[in-house]
Structure 1
Amino acid sequence: MTVAPEAPPVYARTEATTPTRARDRMRYDADVVHAILDEAFLAHISFTAFGQPHILPLAFGRDGSRVYVHVSSGSHLATAVRKAGDEGLPVSFAVTHADALVLARSAMHHSLNFRCVIAHGPLRRVTEPDELVRGWSVLLDHLVPGRSADTRPPNRKEAAQTGLFALELVEVAAKVRTHGLSEDEADLGLDHWAGVVPLRVVAGTPEADAGVSPELPAYLAAWTAEHS
């Protein structure tokens, strides 16, 4: 099986992961990068194929210093990865958390507190049987830990219709804004409300499908309580 690479304590800074502005917001520590990824449910992958730029929202899961995503085998992304061959398809991968609205007295100083991770690299198709099994488990357990053991695995037809793809976290960094307002001193006396509005994502009450016991499995009850 293709074993996920062990993450370094700090990811190397590269031209792709070094911005021209606000460099003080950059974080390269693996624990910071991984924590931001692990808290997110949705990623976006951007790529160029067939002469056009594309971007897709995708579920994902992290396994060490690797992320897995899945898409339809007939999608532009899957087709482009197959066409790219063993070298993989160059992509950008991103997740973002909006943590607060920053409302300033002036229009130009409005902002958001946020945490994001952006990675660059070749996306490859997973074909090795053991890695396919592990990759699907990683995806499901990223949504709710323990979920992979409480589902039917993909059958042969489903596996043919949906491809599993992997991206190694090599060129990757986090960007974080956590401070409040940055106002011009001349604006401090203006009579406009200013401040920070925190935002958060919470789990609602699970709604059981027809024919399913309303009693939650232990792993889901624990996860729901933690995220309520």
Structure 2
Amino acid sequence: MPHTTAPSPRTRVRRLPERAHYDADSIAAIVDAAMLCTVAFQIDGMVHAIPTIHWREGEHLYIHGAKGSRMLKALTAGEACVTIALADGLVLARSAMHHSMNYRSVVLYGRFEAVTEPAHKLASLRAFIDGLYPGRWDTLRPISDKELNATTVLRIALDEASAKVRDWGVKDDEEDLAWPVWAGVIPLRTVTGAPEIEHDSVGRVVPPTRFG
């Protein structure tokens, strides 16, 4: 049964709470739809917010990076906040103050943990690659032990998260409805462009991606 209440006080949506979603399916769908998240954390009392690519496996969000990354080291030592936002449409009203945007967003709190077991780490990286390019992992040169050891994979549970969504049209004041200006929604979409092959690429067939 979907959750209708926030899992913690800090995840409760206070501004426009009718847009809040706390169920796991809504949160997972937004995490899966996005390629980038922003991770906020502290190092020596200073706050940083870094965008990074992510992927999801089950009830965890994963990120990866170089073993020496200050960010990745800090994320296992303290609390973090992860945010995701997708813009879906421009909402044009008859009044400037009623213009809006359709969007999907997630805010996630918690602490990252390192994936240290080599088989688990390798499987997670495979899920990352195949999640973007289905079936590509098996066509690639295998990752070496040195490369695997130099890569850090972290994950954070999705159990303390909230989603916020706006997905409807214009809400104008009744007295403005006859105002002679266009009102409606202009959808926004992410599309892939024409592939650009490397001049020395031996392979000539463009691989499929999850984006079409």
Q: TM-score, normalised by structure 1?
A: 0.82
Matched, 1:74 2:64: no
Equivalent residue for 2:203?
A: 213
Contact 2:94 2:179 in 1 (8 A): yes
8 A contact 1:69–1:139 mirrored in 2: no
Q: Quote the offset at 1:30 in angstroms.
A: 1.8
Question: Measured at CA, do residues 11 and 50 of structure 1 come closer, stay the same or move farther in structure 2, by a change above 3 Å?
Answer: farther
CA contact (8 A) 1:68 1:167 kept: yes
Match of 2:9 in 1: 15
Read off the aligned partner of 2:121 and give its amino acid letter: L
Given the alignment, which residue of 77, 81, 92 partners 1:92? Answer: 81
Whether the 8 Å contact between 2:86 and 2:105 is mirrored in structure 1 is yes
Matched, 1:126 2:120: no
- Report how far residue 152 of structure 1 moved: 3.0
Match of residue 162 from structure 2: 173
Q: CA deviation at 1:190?
A: 3.1
Distance 1:206 1:10, change over 3 A: farther
Give the secondary-structure state (helix, strand or coil) at the position aligned to 1:16.
helix
Tell me, in whole angstroms, the C-alpha distance in 1 between the residues paired with 2:26 and 2:75.
Answer: 29
Q: Does 1:201 align with 2:195?
A: no
Partner of 2:30: 36
1:147 lines up with 2:141 in the alignment: no
Q: Secondary structure in 2 aligned to 1:135?
A: helix
Is 2:20 the partner of 1:26? Answer: yes
Deviation, 1:160, is 4.2
Length-normalised TM-score, structure 2: 0.87
Q: 1:173, CA displacement in angstroms?
A: 1.9
Q: Deviations over 1:157-178 (max 9, x none)?
A: 4334432111111101211101
Which range is displaced more, 206-215 or 111-120?
Answer: 206-215
* Equivalent-residue separation in structure 2 for 1:42 and 1:153 (angstroms): 25
Structure 1: runs of 5+ lacking an equivalent: 1-7
**Residue matched to 1:55:** 49
Gap change, CA 1:120 and 1:152, over 3 Å in 2: farther
Cα distance in 2 for residues equivalent to 1:12 and 1:164: 31
What is the root-mean-square deviation of aligned Cα atoms in Å?
2.2
Unaligned runs of 5+ in 2: none
Aligned with residue 116 of structure 1, among 105, 108, 118: 105
Indicate if the aligned counterparts of 2:89 and 2:185 stay in contact, CA closer than 8 A.
yes
Cα deviation for residue 10 of structure 1 reads 4.1
Greater percentage in helix? 1
Partner Cα separation in structure 1 for residue 56 and residue 151 of structure 2 = 18
Name the CA distance, whole Å, in 2 between partners of 1:136 and 1:161.
Answer: 13
Question: How far apart, CA to CA, are the structure 2 residues paired with 1:20 and 1:77?
Answer: 29
Identical aligned residues as a percent = 38
1:4-29 C-alpha deviation (Å, 9 max, x unpaired): xxxx8648622122111211111122
- Contact kept in structure 1, 2:36 and 2:53, CA below 8 Å: yes
The Cα of 1:111 is off from its aligned counterpart by: 1.3
